[in-house]
A = this chain, B = another copy of it.
Amino acid sequence: MEKASDVRLNNSNPSSKIYLDIVEKLRNMIEVDGLLPGDKISSERELSERLNVGRSSVREALRALELLGLIETRRGEGTFIKDFQEHRLVELLGAFFLQNSKIKEDLIETKQFIEKDCLRIVVQSASNDELELLLHWAQKNWFDDDLFFQKIAELNRNKLIERIWRIVNSYSKASFRADQTVDHKTYIRLIDALLERDEQKVLDIYCQDIRNMSKKD
């Protein structure tokens, strides 16, 4: 039964799909070698040789990662690790699975929950200086709802939640343009409430005045 020719890459997974193994292998390489955005990774032919797989299998893995926005390929130059800040995959996925209204609902709800969490963190741990800087910025600059909550998410010192917000937010933007305009004064009031460290007031303004939620939400 066993074939002695199964030398392949240390295929511990019974995934039976080479390209998935290569994806995992690449992820490991990036992590182990500490590769950073901008760094060049091995060429397709070299990977093919080192992993004992066909070049087409390597390409399938690379193309998948490229579509995800995790790597970038430049003809004649090579393949590079990308800073996955502006993944184009958002529009892609959006175009595919956004007809589904249930997902839309989940997206909206999740975004709002994350935003409330960010507000709770900010109200508890942001410094007065940071908040007053935000206040001045809001008073002197133009901004929309998206930009405002981006600032909130950045103010939050939990970088993980900030990233989750960014992801959820980008998918929200890709799926619908529904951000009703809210008076800038309302956002100012929100910042005031943050400065007062009044969590309940902050959340009330967010839910009722900015997101127009029903009482239950």
> What is the interface of chain A, defined by CB distance below 8 A to chain B?
19-20, 23, 27, 30-31, 34, 36, 56, 59-61, 63-68, 70, 84-85, 87, 89-90, 92-93, 95-103, 105-107, 109-110, 113, 116-117, 120-121, 124, 158-161, 163-164, 167-168, 171, 216-217
In the complex, besides A84-B103, A97-B163, A106-B158, 5 extra interface pairs with C-beta distance below 8 angstroms are: A56-B59, A70-B93, A89-B171, A107-B160, A109-B158
Residues of B within 8 A of A97 (CB): 70, 84, 87, 163
Q: 22 A–B contact pairs at CB < 8 A?
A: A19-B63, A23-B67, A23-B92, A27-B95, A31-B99, A31-B100, A56-B59, A59-B60, A60-B60, A63-B63, A84-B93, A89-B167, A89-B171, A101-B159, A103-B158, A106-B158, A107-B160, A109-B121, A109-B158, A113-B120, A124-B216, A124-B217
Contact between B56 and A110, CB atoms less than 8 A apart? no
Kindly report which residue of chain B lies nearest to residue A164, judged by CB atoms. Answer: B164
Please state the number of chain copies in the assembly.
2
Kindly report which residue of chain B lies nearest to residue A104, judged by CB atoms. Answer: B160
Residues of B within 8 A of A100 (CB): 31, 34, 36, 84-85
Contact between A96 and B109, CB atoms less than 8 A apart? no
Chain A contact residues: helix, strand, loop or mixed: helix
Contact between A161 and B106, CB atoms less than 8 A apart? yes
Most buried by B among A96, A97, A116, A159: A97
Q: How far is the CB of A28 from chain B (nearest CB, A)?
A: 10
Rounded to whole angstroms, the CA-CA distance of A31 and B103 in the bound complex is 15
Rounded to whole angstroms, the CA-CA distance of A89 and B70 in the bound complex is 12
Given A63-B63, A95-B27, A159-B101: A117 in contact with B113 (beta carbons within 8 A) = yes
- Which of B27, B60, B116, B124 contacts A63, CB < 8 Å? B60
Q: How far is the CB of A195 from chain B (nearest CB, A)?
A: 17
Q: 8 nearest interchain CB pairs?
A: A84-B97, A64-B67, A106-B160, A60-B63, A64-B64, A113-B117, A106-B158, A110-B160
